[in-house]
Amino acid sequence: MKNQKIRVENTHMRHIVLRALFILLFLLLLVALVSCTSSSTILTSSNTALVQTRGAPVCGSVRTAAVAQKQAAIETIKAGFDRYKIIDASSTNNVSVRSTAGSYHTTATARGNTYNAVTTYEPGIPIVSGRHEMSISIRMFHENEREAAQAIPAREILGPKWLELTKVGRIGTCAR
């Protein structure tokens, strides 16, 4: 009997498809980083506000909180104040990771009375969903108010581009 090579599955084509899927996943993550946060603000009085920020899973809770703090600084300046204090805060997340089904590939060789098979497993693609949420209540102060000395300076939080950020009015990304 002649040596025969049995190929159970076309692994080359599968490899090309998986590579394309990983490239697509990378591009989706890149898009998520570019526009991964959103915020909304509710003025609760003339000098208090509630800032709510939502961040994509890739942002994590720390960077989502940093975006919320910058958004609080923007809202402070837009409202005509200079400083703010965080008087209450809460955070939550519902981020989860699931995986698509994996697959097995078997390559076998038959030679005479011997049969040799190799099976490899390729795990499925992870799918991340959910978001991080941060909610902060702030009290805003003018520079000349008595309690302003202990409050956070809004312009310092935003850095040298504070004017540009205030004109845009929102922080749309958690990237540093």
pLDDT score of 35: 61
| Model confidence pLDDT, tens digit, residues 90-109 | 999 999 988 888 888 888 88
Lowest-confidence pick of 24-38, 106-120, 123-137 = 24-38
What residues have CB less than 8 Å from 50, skipping those under 6 apart? Answer: 41, 42, 44, 135, 136, 137, 138
| Model confidence pLDDT, tens digit, residues 154-171 | 999 999 999 999 999 988
pLDDT score of 11: 62
Is 90 exceeded by the pLDDT of residue 58?
no
pLDDT score of 50: 97
* Rounded percentage of the chain residues whose pLDDT exceeds 90: 54
Please state, as a whole number, how many other Cβ atoms lie within 10 Å of the Cβ of residue 169.
12
Paired with 89 in beta bridges are: 136
pLDDT score of 141: 97
pLDDT score of 110: 87
Interatomic CA distance for residues 126 and 77, integer angstroms: 41
pLDDT band at 114, cuts 50/70/90?
A: confident
**What's the burial of 137, exposed, middle or buried (CB within 10 Å: 0-12/13-18/19+)?**
middle
